[in-house]
Chains A and B, each alone.
Chain A
């Protein structure tokens, strides 16, 4: 039995300690916003925060996750998250949408750490999130839009 903190709530999870966090989230806790795209940490669709750091939940065991605070797309809040969501809609970022939970988690983490990221910062931070619909240009533009929105409201 593990006690897992997800989205500020505590859960008793009776699963094998080696179960990837991705399945605990999706199947045990029924938080299906985090997606399964590859299972080998190559596509980024399973990105969550572990103690506020983006990590791929498909290769993180329950045993290790249990010692941290987990945040998923369902509970992504705050000014950076709002700005990213609105920019995503404004720039028509999502197409099929399947990779977008992961994209957004990575993008919000970037803005929380670098308020005015350059294209090189974006390439680096977003390099682990693959989009087969190829929404990359709009992701980049939307991150810049969100950064500008945040700067305007801060200033």
Chain B
């Protein structure tokens, strides 16, 4: 039985408390020009005329570039359709406008103010077309995913048994529909690029989760060899999925720098990012849940509609996670893409799983109540060791342990069952709710390079990006443990295309990919140098010793893994040839509802996680706390507002897009099962960064029901829904 990893401090903490220049936008080479976009004020149509006469002669303005200058630029394609970009609609390639806020001109000036001021004076005339802003707008195009050109192995309906007759024959049913608005990731670090050419060599500084996509994608856009491009992103100031592909400005900034002959810097203003970067799409969900005469869940029908753009089919994956939360023998999940006139949606933390766990676990909660069963006990009776869809064994599933432990910590036995039966000291209505979630344990192909130096330092390079989840610390901790050295002697070359191929860090596969790869490289070094490698190094009189390994996810076909070397995603799972793997979590939320105003507060959340082995306890705990806050934000605060008359999003800043602040967050308590997964990889690691958010919204909304007797199904839940 492996011993738990040591709880060490985050290795980059000191840099982060002293304002060290570790982010892309901290770069400003001598002579850099500042870039600003002009963005469209229409949703759909064409650019008819651009009049830059008021801007062009302003002091400091050096270049104004539009689609008329871009004949040599190419698209980098859509990440999910063989390309690299967040969408297959790159600015300036045509005169078409595909979404409100689409960049239509780029200005270069000596200072940022000059660029912004000049941009505001560029006048654009458009030919407007009618548009559809939301799923329920007129003029949308709806495509069932199972009938679409998307790869059916991944995106067809999720089916087990025969759900329709099972539901029809059920003794007790729940039939509920749910709504989730569009939402935006809003990391505090804005998306931005500094592009520096030296001869025909290009260096890009940008906070990203996918330095390979930037390298290969910009190469494709500019028509140059990828090995002329270096991307450097030692730290990203938060990603949450928004930075997991090539963004809209990167290639254009590089192109502008090539034209201008000097470095160019653009930090995209937050308001523009609401339109030019990805977001969580609007979605509607319906679940029909049936229980048999014995009170067992016998069938579930899960239907989801989610928004996409006109130019891409953004694939959905709600139903696979929905099917895996409990052992329901008959399941049918059906998903439809609804094309609207927006930029292409993308991945925002637990992109599907946050909602599928919300839908399933509020319906399960409702079913438990209908059956007169305790909510925790009801969930425990639907545990399973076998994947309900493929019937393969699960590598590990400790959700029942999570439920039992969480129930104990929150004091579930003191909870009185009837809604509205608990009161706080100020007369507030008190509710305690449980919500469970799961998230796929995927892993990606990886190359790992390891160097042991004679001075005892270890340098590792592997495809992963630090965005605050603590991967630098996990790598340092794992290798420090292996080599018996101080973690501060481990240097990681990550988020840097000068190292090994840099696979995108997303889908919670970062640690589960990078740590086993680093450890395999370390094992190889020990195999070659023996159990005392430093002594052997000295004996051989070598300054350093290098090893390199390449590994794939379990059972991953070689052909899929090779995508890694072309800067393309190469993840695999959660369905592997011989098993299926998920991470699990149970949250218990205490909610207070003020009796007159119906103001909702969440003073306490207890979360217990099964993510396999915990490599870095301190940073892992921080991830859970972050995920709980994200779940509360999604449940109670966050919505990107759309006015169908204007399209686009209205509340494009963090004053009006409501993100939880310090005062919104009560006590969060975290526990880990910390049992290594025995099958997925030698370290026993499953993913953590997104499972942490799944189940929180259900716990909060189930607690609100317990406090008030009202079942709420549209997010975000607001006071007025309880009046």
Contact = CB atoms under 8 A, between A and B. Distances in A.
Question: Does A pair with B?
Answer: yes
Interface of A: 15-16, 18-19, 23, 26-27, 30, 32-40, 42-43, 45, 72-74, 84-85, 88-90, 92-101, 104, 122-123, 126-127, 129-140
B667 interface: yes
Given A96-B235, A130-B659, A137 B667 contact: yes
A139 B626 contact: no
A33 B25 CA distance: 11
A36 B676 CA distance: 41
Contacts of B654: 38, 42-43, 130
B662 A133 contact: no
Contacts of B111: 15-16, 19, 23, 27
A88 B17 CA distance: 7
A37 B660 contact: no
9 closest A-B pairs (Cβ-Cβ)?
A33-B19, A96-B468, A98-B237, A97-B16, A134-B629, A95-B468, A73-B19, A94-B16, A32-B26
Given A15-B111, A89-B9, A99-B188, 6 more contacts: A35-B23, A45-B188, A94-B16, A95-B623, A96-B187, A136-B629
A33 B18 CA distance: 7
Contacts of B240: 132
Given A40-B653, A45-B188, A97-B16, A27 B622 contact: no
A26 to B, nearest CB: 8
Question: A interface, by DSSP: helix, strand, loop or mixed?
Answer: loop
B270 A39 contact: yes
17 contacts: A26-B26, A30-B28, A32-B28, A33-B19, A35-B189, A38-B654, A73-B18, A97-B235, A98-B187, A98-B189, A98-B237, A99-B237, A100-B16, A123-B663, A132-B186, A134-B665, A136-B665
A94 B267 contact: no
A134 B188 contact: no
Nearest to A94: B16
**Main SS of the interface on chain B?**
loop
Given A19-B113, A37-B189, A133 B626 contact: yes
Contacts of A45: 188
A95 B470 contact: yes
A133 B468 contact: yes
A140 B234 CA distance: 28
B663 A89 contact: no
Interface string B610-642: 000000001101110110111000000000000
Contacts of A133: 238, 468, 622, 626
B466 to A, nearest CB: 8
Nearest to B237: A98
A27 B28 contact: yes
Nearest to A31: B19
A45 B269 CA distance: 14
A123 B186 contact: no
Contacts of A132: 185-188, 238, 240, 659
B190 interface: yes
B143 interface: no
Contacts of B469: 95
A138 B622 contact: yes
A123 B467 CA distance: 26
B472 to A, nearest CB: 11
A30 B27 CA distance: 9
B113 to A, nearest CB: 6
Contacts of B17: 84-85, 88-89, 93-94, 100, 104
A49 to B, nearest CB: 13
Contacts of A95: 238, 468-470, 619, 622-623, 626
B655 A137 contact: no
A88 B18 CA distance: 11
B13 A94 contact: yes
B269 A39 contact: yes
Contact of B188 (A16, A37, A89, A136): A37
B19 A136 contact: no
A101 B667 contact: no
A136 B237 CA distance: 16
B144 to A, nearest CB: 35
B618 to A, nearest CB: 5
B12 A97 contact: yes
Nearest to B16: A97
A105 to B, nearest CB: 9
Contacts of B660: 134, 136
A91 B87 CA distance: 39
